[in-house]
């Protein structure tokens, strides 16, 4: 079940909200826990047992780590091995077998096991909980049902943001509910839904048309690069907005996950604005434990490359993701060691163009299926193999999707936010906003009912 589906929008969510607010406050965590497990069961019925096992082992090892301080490191290591082992098996085993076969010329059979939805996200959540218990940053949760709610909470279960236990520990025990907070949640959810359905999905249609085209041009390659940037951003930030909005409807405050990354003036700044929960997770639980920047330069370079290789692999068991992560690691090192200060001194328009170009190349790599496709899509930007600058087919598709691409470009900047939050038009916004949100929900529903292109990219992570 995805948030941008009729079954969620008009059945699951309304019924859950009614039950949640009708029952006494003391029952609300139980309602959310049952609903979250049902939500996961609907999408992955055969993996609900894996989810329950994950919750149980996290609960047991959390208690052991807290109770037996002299052996806490051993218990932490065992739990990490179990969790990472499950992640490696379900997500990377066939990738490992494929590359072992290529390297050693073996013929090992593939496991061909389906990837449990959201395993990368909830694995990182339980790891952060156990590590924080071990380091004394949070108290162990001795109520298994409350811990289960943290791990399985449906708004952020399958695609983030990666919520840490320290951020919601107090909210699980007691959280604020109000009409104002609920309204903010609804507003955030509907805007996120609009991002997903009306921009990301339509950009996805354009990208599919690009791959299906036999008359590509340089202009078409560039428009594809822009479109894939917009699709990935609005797909994931839209889902994060919906998750944050749903959290507020149920009284939770989740961290922000995006902060207009496409206005960044360096790749370093871009990653402070993009997928913030993942970046901060790797910083706190991998980079700093490795020594961060408080080590020799060689080890510091090693630490950065390890983090970015892991970041790439976290996104998927394919070489394009590994190359994508390593690409960013190298660019970030170059900024820190070579031309970071130059970017600070040149006019912002040039540093932004540089950042957008680097990011566009990265997402072309990210969205490619193999090395051949990476090569063709990158070289196509510079008229590889005498590709024409423009073609009739590319003009047709650009005209068809230009409005959405322009709206996406504007929406990826703070321009509209600055306008609607201006005090000069505050009263006008208060009148128009409800009409706008209702209209947006209606249009999104129409697209969904029509059976339009409606995938979710981050389900595979």
Q: Residue 461 has what pLDDT? A: 52
Q: Does position 158 have pLDDT exceeding 90, yes or no?
A: no
Contact between 165 and 138 under an 8 Å Cβ cutoff? The reply is: yes
Cα dist from 54 to 21, 48, 133, 286, 406, whole Å: 29, 10, 17, 21, 44
In Å, the largest CA–CA distance within the chain is 71
Q: Residue 91 has what pLDDT? A: 93
Q: What is the pLDDT of residues 196-238, one digit of tens each?
A: 999 999 999 999 999 988 888 999 999 999 999 999 999 999 9
Q: Residue 454 has what pLDDT? A: 57
Q: What is the pLDDT of residues 88-141, one digit of tens each?
A: 999 999 999 999 998 888 888 898 888 888 899 999 999 999 999 999 999 999
Contact between 144 and 54 under an 8 Å Cβ cutoff? The reply is: no
Q: Residue 95 has what pLDDT? A: 92
pLDDT band at 457 (very low <50, low <70, confident <90, very high): low
Task: Give the mean model confidence (pLDDT) for residues 368-387.
Answer: 88
Contact between 36 and 145 under an 8 Å Cβ cutoff? The reply is: no
Angle at 327 between CA 350 and CA 387, to 5 degrees: 70
Q: Residue 46 has what pLDDT? A: 86
Give the residue from 437, 445, 455, 442 showing the smallest Cα distance to 189: 437
Give the residue from 293, 257, 262 showing the smallest Cα distance to 278: 257
Our answer to whether residue 177 is catalytic in this structure is no
CA distance 16 to 11: 8
Q: What is the pLDDT of residues 230-264, one digit of tens each?
A: 999 999 999 999 999 999 999 999 999 999 999 99
Contact between 443 and 198 under an 8 Å Cβ cutoff? The reply is: yes
b/e map of 255-269 (b: 16 or more CB within 10 Å)? bebbebbbbbbbbeb
Peptide bond into 161 cis (omega under 30): yes
**Cα 22 from chain centroid?**
33
Task: Give the mean model confidence (pLDDT) for residues 319-330.
Answer: 96
**Cα 73 from chain centroid?**
30
Angle at 170 between CA 158 and CA 250, to 5 degrees: 50
CA distance 202 to 207: 9
Q: Does position 186 have pLDDT exceeding 80, yes or no?
A: yes
Catalytic-labelled residue, pool 47, 132, 315, 387: 315
Q: What is the pLDDT of residues 389-412, one digit of tens each?
A: 888 888 899 889 999 999 999 999
Q: Residue 427 has what pLDDT? A: 84
Give the residue from 145, 80, 136, 91 showing the smallest Cα distance to 114: 91
Sign of CA dihedral 317, 321, 327, 330: negative
């Amino acid at each position: 079940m995805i948030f941008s589906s009729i079954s969620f929008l008009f059945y699951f969510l309304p019924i859950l909200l009614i039950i949640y607010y009708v029952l006494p406050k003391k029952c609300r965590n139980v309602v959310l826990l049952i609903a979250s497990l049902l939500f996961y069961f609907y999408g992955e019925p055969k993996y609900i047992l894996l989810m329950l096992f994950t919750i149980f082992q996290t609960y047991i090892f959390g208690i052991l780590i807290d109770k037996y301080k002299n052996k806490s490191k051993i218990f932490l290591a065992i739990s990490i091995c179990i969790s990472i082992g499950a992640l490696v098996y379900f997500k990377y085993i066939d990738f490992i077998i494929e590359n072992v076969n290529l390297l050693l010329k073996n013929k090992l059979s593939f496991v061909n096991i389906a990837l449990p939805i959201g395993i990368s996200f909830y694995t990182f959540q339980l790891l952060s909980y156990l590590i924080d218990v071990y380091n004394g940053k949070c108290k162990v949760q001795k109520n298994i049902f409350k811990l289960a709610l943290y791990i399985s909470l449906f708004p952020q279960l399958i695609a983030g943001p990666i919520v840490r236990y320290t951020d919601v520990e107090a909210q699980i025990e007691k959280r604020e509910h109000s009409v104002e907070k609920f309204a903010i949640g609804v507003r955030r959810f509907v805007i996120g839904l609009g991002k997903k359905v009306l921009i990301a999905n339509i950009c996805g249609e354009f990208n599919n048309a690009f791959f299906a085209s036999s008359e590509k041009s340089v202009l078409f390659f560039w428009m594809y690069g822009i479109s894939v940037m917009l699709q990935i951003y609005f797909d994931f930030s839209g889902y994060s907005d919906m998750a944050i909005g749903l959290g507020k409807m149920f009284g939770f405050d989740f961290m922000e996950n995006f902060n207009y990354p496409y206005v960044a003036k360096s790749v370093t700044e871009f990653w402070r604005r993009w997928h913030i929960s993942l970046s901060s997770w790797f910083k706190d639980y991998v980079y700093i434990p490795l020594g961060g920047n408080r080590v020799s330069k060689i080890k510091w370079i090693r630490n950065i490359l390890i983090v970015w290789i892991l970041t790439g692999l976290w996104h998927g068991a394919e070489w394009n993701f590994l190359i994508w992560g390593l690409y960013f690691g190298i660019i970030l090192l170059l900024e820190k060691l070579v031309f970071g200060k130059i970017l600070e001194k040149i006019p912002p328009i040039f540093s932004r163009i540089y950042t957008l170009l680097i990011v566009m190349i990265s997402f072309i790599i990210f969205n490619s299926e193999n090395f051949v496709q990476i090569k063709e899509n990158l070289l196509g930007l510079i008229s590889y193999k005498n590709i024409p600058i423009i073609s009739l087919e590319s003009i047709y598709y650009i005209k068809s999707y230009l409005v959405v691409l322009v709206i996406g470009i504007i929406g990826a900047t703070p321009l509209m936010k600055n306008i609607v939050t201006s005090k000069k038009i505050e009263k006008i916004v208060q009148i128009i906003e409800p009409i706008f949100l209702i209209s947006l929900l209606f249009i999104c529903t129409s697209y969904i009912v029509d059976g339009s292109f409606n995938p979710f990219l981050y389900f595979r992570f």
